[in-house]
């Protein structure tokens, strides 16, 4: 297979152990599906969840990358089916007076809830509850829900652009659904906070009521990568409780121009060196011109997938399939992205932490990071 293929996701560097559980609410496509990362009590010998949780996701990834599922899915399953995320599966939630700040995370096109485990784990290790959504708008490589009648799984496959349809209108419809799902995720936590029962369809043994006093709903942000980055920006328009957004190499194309004046909160754009177009950068600058707290920085030596778990893939064949290049060490890249995000979140969520020690990154000061947008070298 072109040399040994492997994945070694780093554990969080913060002071907290990290727990993880899947949460599915509702029995229709209009429900919610997310992976929850949270500070937990340390456990010796804790079970670690699989990075690719089901074979169907390997099939979906292969198809999204334009590979034959006949050989692509088995290849991915053999290479990564046994890879684990370094967190405690259903670990006991670690209570904290006042609760933890909340981040709603939106994945990119063709991804799903587990492919940003490295950055979600890192944030949780520093004292955040992170809800990594799996969108049901057809942008995930695969997802599913469980019906009420029989509990059977209904799979939703990735939906490509329909023939003859203009891409903007198709993606604009999707980005609005995605942003609405981010808002509904916040409503889930509000329901838990209000003491209303919220059954977890997948894992009823993990009682979500443990989060009742564990999340500070006055300190909520939204974050995402690529398609998820622009989803995070739109979510600021739809929900005033989101106090800021962090957009990782955002794909700005799907957002209509009339909404830019309505973005009320600051955004941190963390771009890769080789992805953006002049049109996308112009939209970011339009937002920064309207809000002095919005920041745009570029991580040198990084490519679009550097801000995903794919950065930690090894093996020439797999790296070629997923176009994982870049010259920046992935661990260093994760440090830059997470520390810049933490500094930004401290500033705009009014956190009493010491993340401001990394505030220089917000001004593009530091090794492998520069202020402003990258030069436009490639198309989307």
Q: 89 pairs with which residues across the strands? A: 20
Distance of CA 118 to the CA centre of its chain: 10
Candidates 104, 346, 349, 353; CA nearest to 243 is 349
Q: Is 203 a catalytic residue?
A: no
Give the DSSP H or E segment for 7. strand 6-7
Q: Is 249 a catalytic residue?
A: yes
**DSSP codes of every residue in 34-86:** EEEEEEE---TT----BSS-SHHHHHHHHHHTT--HHHHHHHHHHHHTT-B-S
84 Cβ contact list (under 8 Å, min separation 6): 48, 49, 50, 51
Which of the residues 141, 249, 288, 302 is marked catalytic? 249
Which of the residues 107, 135, 176, 304 is marked catalytic? 304
* Separation of alpha carbons 342 and 298, rounded Å: 16
HSE value, Cβ hemisphere, 13 Å, CA-based, for 307: 32
Q: 25 pairs with which residues across the strands? A: 32
Give the DSSP H or E segment for 180. helix 167-193
On whether the CB atoms of residues 369 and 338 are closer than 8 A, the answer is: no
Which of the residues 17, 139, 226, 302 is marked catalytic? 226
Which SS3 state, helix, strand or coil, does residue 248 take? strand
On whether the CB atoms of residues 16 and 43 are closer than 8 A, the answer is: no
Q: Pairing mode, if any, of strands 129-133 and 100-106?
A: parallel
Using CB atoms within 10 Å of the CB of residue 178, give its burial: 0 to 12 exposed, 13 to 18 middle, 19+ buried: buried
Mind telling me the catalytic residues? 226, 249, 304
């Amino acid at each position: 297979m072109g040399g040994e293929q492997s994945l070694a996701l780093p554990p969080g560097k913060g002071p907290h152990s990290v727990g993880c559980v899947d949460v599915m609410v509702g029995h229709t496509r209009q429900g919610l599906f997310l992976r929850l990362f949270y500070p937990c009590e340390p456990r010796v010998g804790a079970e670690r969840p699989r990075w690719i949780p089901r074979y169907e996701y390997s099939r979906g990834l292969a198809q999204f990358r334009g590979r034959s599922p006949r050989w692509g899915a088995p290849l991915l399953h053999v290479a990564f089916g046994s890879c684990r995320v370094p967190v405690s599966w259903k670990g006991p939630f670690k209570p904290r007076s006042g609760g933890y700040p909340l981040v709603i995370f939106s994945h990119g096109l063709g991804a799903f809830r587990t492919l940003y485990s490295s950055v979600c784990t890192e944030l949780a290790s520093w004292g955040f509850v992170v809800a990594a959504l799996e969108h049901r708008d057809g942008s995930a490589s695969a997802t599913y829900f469980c019906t009420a009648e029989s509990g059977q799984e209904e799979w939703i496959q990735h939906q490509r652009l329909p023939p003859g349809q203009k891409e903007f209108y198709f993606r604009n419809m999707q980005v609005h659904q995605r942003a609405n799902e981010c808002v509904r995720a916040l409503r889930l936590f509000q329901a838990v906070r209000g003491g209303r029962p919220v059954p977890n369809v997948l894992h009823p043994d993990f009682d979500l009521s443990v989060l009742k006093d564990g999340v500070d709903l006055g300190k909520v942000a939204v974050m995402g990568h690529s398609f998820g980055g622009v989803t995070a920006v739109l979510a600021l328009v739809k929900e005033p409780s989101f106090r800021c957004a962090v957009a990782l190499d955002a794909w700005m194309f799907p957002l209509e121009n009339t909404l830019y004046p309505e973005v009320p909160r600051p955004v941190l754009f963390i771009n890769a060196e080789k992805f953006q177009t002049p049109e996308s950068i112009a939209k970011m600058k339009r937002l920064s011109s309207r809000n002095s707290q919005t920041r745009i920085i570029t991580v040198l030596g990084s490519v679009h997938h550097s801000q995903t778990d794919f950065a930690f893939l090894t093996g020439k064949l797999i790296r070629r399939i997923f176009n994982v290049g870049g010259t920046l060490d992935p661990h260093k890249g994760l440090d830059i992205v997470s520390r810049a995000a933490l500094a930004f979140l401290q500033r705009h969520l009014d956190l009493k932490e010491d993340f401001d020690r990394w505030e220089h990154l917000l001004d593009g000061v530091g090794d492998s990071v520069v202020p402003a947008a990258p030069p436009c070298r490639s198309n989307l």
